[in-house]
A and B are shown apart, each in its own frame.
Chain A
C-alpha cells in the first residue's frame, strides 16, 4: 500500500459525459501528479500540482482539467468524453516538487462506451 488513495476504482460512462476522479496523497506529501495509461500511448504525464498551485503540464487535453484543494487532495475532471479517453488514470504524490520518489495510487479505470 503506497498510501495514495484514488476513487473510484472503476468508472463506466458514455461518450459526451463528464466525470471526476479523486486522489488523496500520502500524508505530508505536497506534490500531486496525474498520469494516463492507455494501450496506444503508454504511461503519460498529464499535470502536476504543488501545494495547490499548478507546476507542470504534460499532454493534457483541453477537455481535461485538474485542481488541488487546501487539504491537498486533488481532482481530475474529464469532460466531453470520447472512446479514446478510456484508460487507467493514476495519481502519484511526493514530498518535494523535484528530486523525489513518486508513489502511485491504485488507479481509476475509466471505460467510455
Chain B
C-alpha cells in the first residue's frame, strides 16, 4: 500500500517564525488532506489539496502530484498553532480511505 512520510517529526519555533512541513507519498493519489490535531485531540481539516496550491490566512499548501510530495507552510506562527500536523492521502482505486503519516509535532513558544 501507499507509504506516507512526514518531516520533520518534531519542530520547535518561537512565535512569529515561519515553517515548512513536508509530506512524501509513494504512489499516485486521488486525495490529499492536511490536518491539525490540537492539544485536545480534535482533528481539524486544513486543506483538501490533491494537486496545486491553496492559501488560507497564514497557512498555505502546495502539492506536486507528479513528484509525490506536498508542503504545508505556516507563516508568523502563533502559540495556538501548536499541536500535531498530519498529512493523509487517499489511494487511487475508487474509494476514499485515508492513509495517515506519522505527523509533525509542532511547539510554538511565546
Q: Does A19 contact B (CB under 8 A)?
A: no
Cβ contact of B45, chosen from A2, A43, A55, A107, cutoff 8 A: A2
Interface membership of A11, Cβ < 8 A: no
A107 and B90 contact, Cβ closer than 8 Å, known pairs A100-B96, A102-B96: no
**B41 at interface, CB cutoff 8 A:** yes
Give chain B residues whose Cβ lies under 8 Å from the Cβ of A112. none
Chain A: minimal CB distance from B77 (Å): 23
What range describes how many residues of A lie at the interface?
20 to 34
| Residues of chain B contacted by A35 (CB below 8 angstroms) | 98
1/0 per residue A20-61: CB within 8 Å of B? 000000000001010100000011110010000001101000
How long is the Cα–Cα vector from A42 to B101 in the complex, in angstroms? 8
Secondary structure of the A side of the interface?
strand
Question: A97 to B96, Cβ gap below 8 A?
Answer: yes
Selected from B42, B50, B100, B102, the residue in CB contact (under 8 A) with A106 is B42
Candidates B33, B35, B88, B95; contact of A97 at CB < 8 Å:
B95
Residues of B within 8 A of A99 (CB): 30-31, 50, 90, 96
Distance in Å: Cβ of A48 to nearest Cβ of chain B: 6
Q: Which residues of A contact B41 (CB under 8 A)?
A: 88, 106-107, 109
**Assembled-state Cα–Cα distance A106/B43 (Å):** 7
B100's nearest neighbour on chain A, judged by CB, is: A43
A110 interface hit (Cβ, 8 Å): no
Cβ-based interface call for B97 (8 A): yes
Using a CB–CB distance below 8 Å, which chain A residues touch chain B?
2, 31, 33, 35, 42-45, 48, 55-56, 58, 88, 90, 92, 94, 96-104, 106-107, 109
B residues with CB within 8 A of A: 30-31, 33, 35, 41-45, 48, 50, 86, 88, 90, 94-100, 102-103
A-B complex: 4 closest residue pairs judged by Cβ atoms: A43-B100, A101-B48, A104-B43, A56-B95
- Knowing that A2-B44, A98-B94 touch, tell me 7 more A-B residue pairs with CB under 8 angstroms: A42-B100, A45-B99, A90-B43, A94-B96, A98-B95, A99-B96, A103-B45
